[in-house]
Structure 1
């Protein structure tokens, strides 16, 4: 195991190997096997590019040879900041074959985050587009290289300017086989404060997570999965790319999730599956009312990233004409989805079942005691694809992982008798109003039922008397409601008075973190 990473206890490693969850196969070998078994099947569609599994495999081999030629080798870290373009897929698999580890940054990251990722991982290379959404990444690269002495290479998809062009190309060469138990890539933690921590994912455990998703979601060769969210994010990467490839399906990349970008691709490629965050799903539902694109090929839309409130969930299937699947997941591992035959009432209120029979879930109080069945508590997780620690973070790991290896997710949940998980908020997403604890998501769900509320986030603001007061930040639907109207609405729904918002702010949109979550830190800062 790479220095700075927490190894799996041998007892658990042997258990997962014996059960067949972990296979003696690298991610590069996974792609090679698909190229042999399904050479002519379309693996990837992005813009004008349409690559079969054999073509993707060949491009990966040639790119790996080019990277090897410039000195990138096993154990090297490469910070990758590319949008949804085909080069991102080929580059990842090329690095997997070399045994180098991509550190997957998001297109929205800027100098502070990229410099940190490069310094913290001792990265030897940084891969960027030339210009994306009006931003020139070559200028960012010049700034970062001046600060990070370990960076030897900047590779650019597009016009390289003063740097080198991607893709590098070379005749395929024999490369040492990476260890399937070794680190394959680094994902970013999904926290909403501070610089994201790095999550090391190994070939065999991360590959299993994609295979488990494909099995839970009944993917097959006929699956055509549209990824419109940033592919470098864990959810599109696992639920989209990895699960689709395990099923020998087709991955379609869109530059973004807007209906203008996604709907034409759904019609042209006969997309069957896609994943959205709730805000994007809302835009799709509204656009589908008047848009003339044919979305009839859609079998299912999966919504996750943040909780889909029941009031919005009820609208998805009538609006989009396909099955709703809720999902949850985290870069650290544990993920869950509804199954095709789950009853509708369960689909509307819960976020799914863990994907693996070996996933272990506990719901505990603040002292790690199990709560009573059906009670809200803190979610702990352990299993064959949930990591045992962050990269180079021993003090944080001591707080975040239990002595017996459970990951403290920071989520407040309750379990249905069926095992389905209902997310009730974050441990820290509570407002302490005069010693009364307000779960923000509970109030938000009520407010979303108001006809004048399109989106809402409830945040706590400092108060000298009460400690905190609550502020409802509302994106209105039509005429904006007043604070008094919202209070009357909540009163009619039987909500306790101390949960009524103390303040109302009307906003045009809710700010998001780079990972697509509502940034309550930003909202609190706007109105403090």
Structure 2
């Protein structure tokens, strides 16, 4: 179940991840939080229960592809057999860099069925992030679309394979060129299954790691988050129950499917678990989403606040048919109360705030919460076994209602990042609490209110931009002597990214030039600065560090 050596302290790193201590593992099993088989086998159970019902709708809106639960399950088996024929199997890490298309779902479950570990990169990631994730995970394969939004991922794959020797296979959804076609693998797997020559997959331990999610990158480059079959299954199933999700629901994946939010809160996994239909939106734009909501009679979806604002504004102009929509979840950043109050009158759906993290803890406003509570708080923990503390800088609990840092542990919150022993020593307490870096207070009734963060991170429209990482890249620019990256208020996206620079003598730096330079270095689009401020000097603390608090004060 777990290979920890103590009941309370953090377990040693085993096979590159930190398992739950035995006492906690036994408790979570006994209390019913951890149960059932691995995620790949759960799809087989769902297909047996809901066989002819529509599981998945994808493809371009003009020519949708529909798969029943039985067809999805068969497609996963075919692809798993094709991957096994390629030599992929239990424990292999495979970097998934796919947008919202059917291949994301089939490949994810095929890898889960084999016991391989999907590493879920986001569509916006580019060379810097992908090479880092491939090295950190030791990925042996890299899955990509041929092109997406005008970007040729096959060219990126060439750069990644040249830089990271462990990546032996490139798997392509679409025109594969010199690489391996996912469709071809599925066809080969189907033939092998038909002739009885497909290798039998190894047994998968449901207490073991199922998937590696990507952290928000709040301290340097993104970390890998090891989620087990049991903890992630509970994450999704309990979320589905809380959201009253049933087989009659239609869930729209508007955000990138590799995000924890649309994947398992309740997301794809939660929807499949109750026999609902999942619709994949190729874009979260109002134009695309409203068409899908009307055509597919979507009932539930999830957005970040910046997109919620865009949808509400666009709906006021366009008057779309959103009469089927019963629940709009909003998370990834604190939702403005005024915007929250506009959701039901404009879109006709109840608003549910979701405050959580890919590392684990999820907080939801409840469906029966008072409307004002749903609009002004960020919810309370999903599970009775979720333990939270709100502490001061010394780690002492603050007074009721006071602001402090949120610490948490529970049945679906990790005990350590993957291959990150040094970072884990500071990110987790000796008794297993995860230091979230979020500043919160507990409101009357037990709901949390998010008041800010202590980590040096900018929440740009739901994407976490590490100020430290961006500063490191900016300092390589020949015209920059010093730099500080700070947040700037933005009504549309919450926070925008401001680069404050001191230039080298005799040089001129422009925002357009900086963006081009950073794109050439392979940074994701969301990492690029929105604003540039050139100053003669940056304020310093008494020990000579850049004083960002004073800098923000000066910038107003």
For normalisation by structure 2, the TM-score amounts to: 0.79
Structure 2: any 5+ residue segments left out of the alignment? 4-13, 468-483, 494-521, 536-556
Task: Give yes or no for contact 1:233–1:515 (8 Å, CA) kept in 2.
Answer: no
C-alpha change, 1:526 and 1:81, in structure 2 (3 Å) is farther
When residues 473 and 406 of structure 1 are mapped into structure 2, their CA distance, relative to the original with a 3 A threshold, is closer
| Structure 1 residue 152 displacement after superposition | 1.3
In 2, the alpha carbon distance for the partners of 1:73 and 1:177 equals 11
Give the equivalent residue in structure 2 for 1:486. Answer: none
| Alignment correspondent of 2:131 | 115
- Relative distance call for 1:407 and 1:471 in structure 2 (3 A) is closer
Q: 2:128 touches 2:523 (CA, 8 Å); kept in 1?
A: no
Residues 210-237 of structure 1 show CA distances to partners (whole Å, capped at 9, x for unaligned) of: 0110111111111111011100011111
How big is the shift at 1:311?
A: 2.2
Q: 2:348 aligns with which of 308, 321, 330?
A: 321
List aligned pairs for 1:105-504, cutoff 5 A: 105-167=121-183, 168-169=185-186, 170=189, 171-172=192-193, 173=198, 174-192=200-218, 194-239=220-265, 240-428=267-455, 473-474=489-490
Offset, 1:376: 0.5
Q: Residues 271, 515 of structure 1: CA spacing in aligned structure 2 closer, same or farther, 3 A cutoff?
A: farther
- Residue 134 of structure 1 deviates from its aligned partner by 0.3
Deviations along 1:378-397, one digit per CA (max 9) or x if unpaired, are 00111000000001111110
The verdict on how the C-alpha distance between 1:476 and 1:277 changes in structure 2, with shifts beyond 3 A counting, is: closer
Contact 2:38–2:205 (Cα < 8 Å) also in 1 = yes
Say whether the 8 Å CA contact 1:63–1:94 is kept in structure 2.
yes
Q: State whether structure 2 residue 61 is matched by structure 1 residue 45.
A: no
Which stretch of structure 1 is more off in the superposition, 200-209 or 162-171? 162-171
1:293 is displaced (CA, Å) by 2.9
CA offsets 1:264-295 (integer angstroms, 9 cap, x no match): 10001100000011111111111111324311
- Picking from 9, 12, 15, the partner of 2:27 is 15
Q: The residue matched to 1:381 in structure 2 has which SS? A: strand
For the pair 1:98 / 2:110, whether they are aligned, the reply is: no
Relative contact order: is structure 1 or structure 2 higher (C-alpha 8 Å, sep ≥ 6)?
A: 2
Give the stretch that moved more between structures: 172-181 or 94-103.
172-181
Aligned length: 463
Structure 1 gaps of 5+ residues are 431-439, 445-456, 460-467, 478-513
Helix, strand or coil for the counterpart of 1:256? coil
Q: What is the aligned partner in structure 2 of residue 36 from structure 1?
A: 48
Report the 3-state secondary structure (helix = DSSP H, G, I; strand = E; otherwise coil) of the residue aligned with 2:309.
Answer: helix
Q: Aligned in 2, Cα 1:140/1:476: closer, same or farther, shift over 3 Å?
A: closer
CA RMSD of aligned residues (A): 2.8
Q: 1:526 to 1:22 in 2, by over 3 A?
A: farther
Distance 2:529 2:422 in 1: 27
**91-100 or 311-320: bigger deviation:** 311-320
State the alpha-carbon separation in 2 of the partners of residues 63 and 335 from structure 1.
Answer: 32
1:428 deviates by: 3.5
Structure 1 residues 518, 277: CA separation in 2 closer, same or farther (over 3 Å shift)?
farther
The secondary structure found in structure 1 opposite 2:361 is: strand
TM-score, normalising length: structure 1? 0.83
Partner of residue 73 from structure 1, selected from 89, 93, 108: 89
Q: In structure 2, how many angstroms separate the alpha carbons of the residues matched to 1:348 and 1:323?
A: 10
Instruction: Give the conservation status (yes or no) of the 8 Å contact 1:228–1:253.
Output: yes
